[in-house]
């Protein structure tokens, strides 16, 4: 049982997502921009910006991004945060609370790109937008020795994909990455898609299948850019994967961690008992969310300190 404040936040999150669910099931004629606006308004009310952090909108290449900067801290550390939402909804405003906490704890600037989304901009547009934002950070002078990636859900999968694309393009990789509840397999063929369906309060497989079809728009769900469990993951930076025990995505996160380990990528996997999809958003109301975020920050801080000390 969750603490009352955390349960209220979770219930509010489910309510905020209702317009998205109705839209995907064809139960409303409301246009997508308004559906997303309603969702982000509800999420910002639930998970508002925190004190001690300044927020401003900037451009990373052709993509708008929200930058969270801790007050009174001079830092060259940079985080590219890739928000979730099934490549269809979500948005930077919904993550002010989480990215603000991350900025404060890691003493870093956190950029969250507002990548274009399906159905108007299906695969591979969202992925390409985020990679363009990553390249723009490097072009603007961000030191790759002080740059890390964090993402949740679809964004968690994109953490791995961004590293692969950087590797294949011959440009600098980030120091490390954290994949929170990664949506790593759009075929939903793992065992937990069956045994956890209906347990995770935020993700049902039927809903995920609709999201996947909307995003893919005819592309194969096994494409490595869409589903990193099918990708070549050699020569990537260290990655921490955090997944809830109750998630339908659990087995795919485990498979992704195994693939990374077999490719000799330094990989850490945390399976959190009783936790649900992207529970980190409940930081400040749920102890497990606070601790998971603390673990992620520690992982990134350790990697950054090593890179900063080595000068590589």
Q: Which residue in the list 181, 188, 192, 247 is annotated as catalytic?
A: 247
CB 111 within 8 A of CB 81: yes
* Rounded (5°) CA angle 219-225-229: 105
247 tagged catalytic: yes
Complete edge-to-edge strand list for the sheet that includes strand 176-180: 53-60, 63-70, 109-113, 78-82, 147-152, 176-180, 239-244, 267-272
DSSP letter at 173 equals: P
Say how far apart CA 130 and CA 55 lie, in whole Å.
19
- β 63-70/109-113 pair status: antiparallel
Q: Which of 89, 142, 153, 288 is catalytic?
A: 153
Neighbours of 163 (CB within 10 A): 24
Selected catalytic residue, list 89, 188, 277, 280: 277
- Could you tell me whether strands 147-152 and 176-180 are parallel, antiparallel, or unpaired per DSSP bridges? parallel
Based on C-alpha coordinates, what's the Rg of the chain?
18
DSSP per-residue codes, 27-38: -----HHHHHHH
**Is 64 noted as a catalytic residue in this protein?**
no
The DSSP annotation for 197-213 comes to TTTSSS--HHHHHHHHH
Q: How far is CA 56 from the centre of its chain?
A: 20
Helix 287-310 and helix 96-106, axial crossing angle in degrees, nearest 10: 50
For residue 180, give the nearest of 197, 166, 198, 160 by alpha carbon: 160
Catalytic site residues? 153, 247, 277
């Amino acid at each position: 049982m969750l603490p009352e404040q955390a349960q209220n936040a979770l219930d509010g999150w489910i309510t905020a997502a209702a317009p998205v669910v109705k839209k995907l099931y064809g139960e409303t004629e409301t246009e997508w921009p308004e559906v997303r606006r309603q969702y982000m308004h509800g999420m910002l009310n639930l998970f508002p910006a925190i004190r001690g952090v300044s927020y401003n909108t900037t451009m990373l290449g052709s993509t708008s991004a929200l930058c969270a900067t801790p007050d009174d801290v001079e830092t060259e550390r940079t985080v590219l945060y890739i928000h979730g939402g099934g490549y269809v909804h979500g948005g930077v405003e919904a993550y002010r609370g989480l990215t603000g906490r991350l900025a404060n704890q890691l003493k870093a600037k956190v950029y969250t790109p507002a990548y274009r989304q399906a159905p108007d901009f299906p695969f591979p547009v969202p992925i390409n937008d985020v990679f363009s934002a990553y390249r723009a950070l490097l072009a603007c002078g961000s030191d790759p020795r002080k740059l890390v990636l964090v993402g949740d859900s679809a964004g968690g999968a994109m953490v791995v994909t961004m590293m692969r694309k950087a590797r294949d393009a011959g440009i600098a990789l980030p120091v490390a990455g954290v994949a929170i509840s990664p949506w790593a397999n759009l075929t939903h063929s793992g065992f937990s898609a069956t045994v956890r369906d209906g347990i995770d309060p935020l993700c049902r497989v039927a809903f995920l299948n609709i999201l996947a079809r909307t995003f893919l728009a005819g592309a194969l769900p096994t494409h490595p850019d869409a589903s990193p469990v099918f990708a070549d993951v050699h020569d990537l930076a260290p990655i921490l994967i955090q997944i809830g025990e109750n998630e339908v995505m659990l087995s795919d996160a485990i498979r992704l961690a195994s693939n990374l380990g077999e490719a000799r990528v330094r990989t850490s996997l945390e399976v959190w008992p009783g936790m649900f999809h992207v529970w980190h958003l409940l930081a400040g109301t749920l102890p497990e969310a606070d601790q998971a975020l603390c673990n992620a920050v520690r992982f990134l801080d350790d990697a950054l300190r090593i890179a900063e000390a080595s000068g590589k």
